[in-house]
Structure 1
C-alpha cells in the first residue's frame, strides 16, 4: 500500500479515537435529536389544543412527558443530558441545527402553519403585502458567545417603494431550567439619503413576537439589517438556557395610495353626466 495512504489511514484512526464520546449515562446525540424534534412538535400541539380544558402549560407538560416515556426516559434523564450538551456548546449547536432543519421541513414548528403566525406564511416577495425575509427561518441561541447573537442583512431591490412599512414577526420557545430570560431584537432600515430608522424590542416569554418599523416616504429603502441577542450571565452557566426561534418573517406593506378629493369629485361628475 502506498505510504501516503497508510499515513492518511493512521491520521483518520487517531482523529476518530480522539473524538470525545458522550458518556453512556446521557442520551446519545442521534436519539436526543429525535427527542428534541418531537419535543418541539409536542409543545406546538399542546399550545393549539383548543378542545382540552387544561391550561396550555399543563398540556405542554403532559405532551412532553409522553414524548420522554416513548423513548424510555424521565424528565431528570432529559434535564441532565441537556445540561451535558449545553456545557459542550459546539456539539449542542450542531444537534440543534439538525433539529431546526427537520422541523423546518415539516413546516409545523410552534404552529407555523396555523393561527396568527400563519397568515403571512404563504406570501412571496412581491405584491403590496409581501414576506421579504430571505435569511434562515429558524435558529437557536444560547447565552454563551458566540452562540448568543445572530445577525442578518437584507438588501432592497426594485420591488420596494417609498413609504413602505415593515413588520418583523416570529415564534419563540425558551428552554430554560433557571435564570432570567431576556432577548433583544434590533432592526434598522437604511435609506438612500443615508437616513436610518431603527427599532428594538425585548422579549422574555415564548410565543408570538412582533416589531413594527414605520413608513418613511422621503427616500427609497437601501438595506435592512439587524440582530437577535440572547442576554446572559457573564459566568458560564451549568444549566440549560436555550432559545429556539422559528418562522421568522419580515413583512413589507406598500403605502396605500388614495385618490385626491379633486379626482374623486371629477369622477363623480363624469358619472353623473352619463
Structure 2
C-alpha cells in the first residue's frame, strides 16, 4: 500500500511540474512561437527593411500569434512567467536550441529549397481602384491620402497585401508622417501603424495582414500618408501603389503561376 501511495505521489508531482498557470503557454507551444519569431527577425534583417523594420516585425509577430491562436496578452503573460521561473526558462531555451540545431543540420544537408506556393490569378486579385501615384508639392496644403474597402471585397481568412513606394523629402514641414491601417470586424478592430522616414530617399513599403478566418470583415480603411493636424505643407511622392486580396488556394490541381507570385512578393 505504501508503494502505491509513493507511486501516485510521484505521478502527481511530475504532473504538477509539467503544467503552467492559466494564460501561460505550455513549453512546447511557447518554444514553437519563439522559434518562428526568431526566424522572422532573421529574415527581416536579411531583407534589410531599414526604416520599415519595426513595422515589418510587428506584422510578422501578428501573423505568428494568429497562426498559433495565441493572444498578445497570453504571449506577454507567458514571457513574464518564464522570466520569473529561471528553471522553466532554461528548459524552454534548451528546447529552442535543439530546434535551431536541427534546422542547421537540415540546411547543411540541403533539405530546403525555394518553393513557389500554388496560386492562380483568381486566388490573388488586384483590388486597388485609385490612382497609383500621389504628389505632395511644397506650398500646397495636404493632410492624408485615405483608402477604403467595403465588406464585400474581402472574405474570411483572406490576406490583405498593400505595396507602395514613398519618398518623403527633407523640406517636408509636416510632423508625425505615418501609414495607418484599420480592419473593422463586428465588435473588434485590428490596426497597424508605420512611421515614415524623412530622408528624401525612395523606400518600398509592404503591408500584409491576415484577416480573421472566423469573423466577417466589415470595412478596411487606411491612410497611405497622414500627418499631425491639418494645413500642413507636405513635400512627398507616393508611387506604384498596389493592393491585393489573397485567397490562399489549397487545391492540388491549381495552375501554378510563378511570375504572378514573384511579381507581388519578390520586388
Shorter chain as denominator, the TM-score bin is: 0.3 to 0.5
Give the structure, 1 or 2, with the largest relative contact order (CA under 8 Å, sep 6 or more).
2
Greater Rg, structure 1 or structure 2?
Answer: 1
TM-score, normalised via structure 2 length: 0.40
